[in-house]
Amino acid sequence: MQAALLIDFGSTYTKVTVVDLEKEEIVGTAKAGTTVETNIMDGLNNALNQIPEPSGGWNFVRKLACSSAAGGLKLIASGLVKELTAEAARRAALGAGAKIMDVFSYELSAQDLERITRSKPDIILLAGGTDGGNKEILLKNAEHLAALPISLPVVVAGNKVAAPQAAEILRQKHSPVVVADNVMPELNVLSVDSARLAIRDVFLNNIIQAKGLDKAEEFIERVLMPTPAAVLSAAELLADGYDDERGLGELLIIDVGGATTDVHSIAKGDPTKPGVMLKGLPEPYAKRTVEGDLGMRYSAEALVEAAGRRLKDYLGWSAEEVHTQVEHCLKEPWWVPKTPKEEEFDTALGRLAVEIAVNRHVGIIEVVYTPFGASYIQTGKDLTELPVVIGTGGVLLHHNNPEEILKGSLFNSIEPATLKPKNPALYLDKEYILAAMGLLKEVSPLAALRIMKKHVLKIGG
């Protein structure tokens, strides 16, 4: 059997997926605790040992990995105007699978620089100015960054005229310093691919070693990308198809975790009704958002706060009852609900995490009354006609009622301006293979697509 070993070094678990490349089938999946402090290989072997080895031993022709271990790819971005280049930089970073710690705008202040030093990101993304636009900010911020007491990898993706000079300044202190295309070459034009690739390259060449992942590289071929980038890549394949093999069409993937909820959409999001005007930054076709305050365990408290009244309305519980359960979530992040009451609470948390995360991900439509009658303005993606919503992530997969949780992603007539899917088919990534398939896509896209179509299954009616 020609097999591929696909590994996801997660922050808590190392997950392995073994694929039979000829039959295009999954041989097995398993997970074990990530062991980044000691030797990352221990966790990998513990996981792999759970999958029964064939009589002739494993014949792994490909061994690929992605990682979000040791804090993932921590990034701080900086731009000029908050809503423009700073936002463009944020989107580029999210698309690269980074964990965004801060986004600064305008000239970096002493406090901003202090925060960079304190939080020691893995990479800094420096943007600012459209091409032909503002040059001063990029140079000024490069000077400020060059005065930092620590050395960090920096990607410069700002005004193309000022970028080489800014890189020159940065090199006095930082290494490596990479120049990518401007994330906003023209006003309101987003160009994030080059910056995404640059971030990924820096991740591969510099950060893996710093995180103790290089020990694994003696055994595997390469750590290819951060885990969220692998999921986004798999999502694109599953949506668009490959060659003659059709995909599922435009889709939304929701990953509810203990600390965050990630939402990926592969969709154009153009207005579905005539006469609607688009406003704001254009949205990337493959868009990822991460909600750091919407998690089921570590972020349970913030989630309850964000949910506010909705949680009470959904559960009908008193504030004390909710409080007791939240305490529980924080004290024992590994806790799995046992009593019906606990299950009820878990369902409510998941449902609201999905609801709020998708609300923030999708676009909104507003009515503007002009002297010539009503006009409609859309900001963000219109996903009302989206055909497919997929759930993934530990919380959803081990839950007894994932459908109820996923339904939080649906359009709600109480909030008609929020452009969520109205009537999609709901799917579940039952064996948690999306990240692995994002890796397999690098060597065998057709097999990755076919396996996803076999194993990502429709749920509910």
Closest approach, Cβ 181 to another protein, in A, equals 16
User: Which residue in 224, 197, 203, 205 sits closest to 7, CA to CA?
Assistant: 224
Structure tokens given for 193: 């691919």
Nearest to 368 by CA among 276, 237, 437: 276
Give the shortest CB-242-to-another protein separation in angstroms.
Answer: 38
Neighbours of 361 (CB within 10 A): 25
Query: Minimum distance from CB of 137 to another protein (Å)?
Result: 9
Cis peptide leading into 337, omega within 30 of 0? no
Residues that bind another protein (CB under 8 A): 80-81, 83-85, 129-130, 132-135, 184, 186-188, 277, 279, 368-372, 375, 377
Closer CB to another protein, 78 or 359, in the complex = 78
Task: State how far the Cα of 289 lies from the Cα of 362, in Å rounded to an integer.
Answer: 10
| Nearest residue (CB) to another protein, 379 versus 401 | 379
> Least distance in Å: CB of 193 to another protein?
20
Taking the least distance from each CB to another protein, the nearer of 135 and 441 is 135
Q: Quick one: 82 or 458, whose CB is closer to another protein?
A: 82
Q: Minimum Å distance from CB 44 to another protein?
A: 46
Which is nearer to another protein, 130 or 359 (by Cβ)?
A: 130
* In contact, 388 and 427? CB cutoff 8 Å: yes
Whether the CB-CB separation of 135 and 142 falls below 8 Å is answered with no
Closer to another protein by Cβ: residue 132 or 316: 132
Using CB atoms within 10 A of its CB, is residue 243 exposed (0-12), middle (13-18) or buried (19+)? exposed
Contact residues for 29 (Cβ-Cβ < 8 A; gap 6+) = 15, 16, 17, 18, 51, 431, 432, 433, 436
In the complex, least distance from residue 418 CB atom to another protein, rounded to whole angstroms: 20
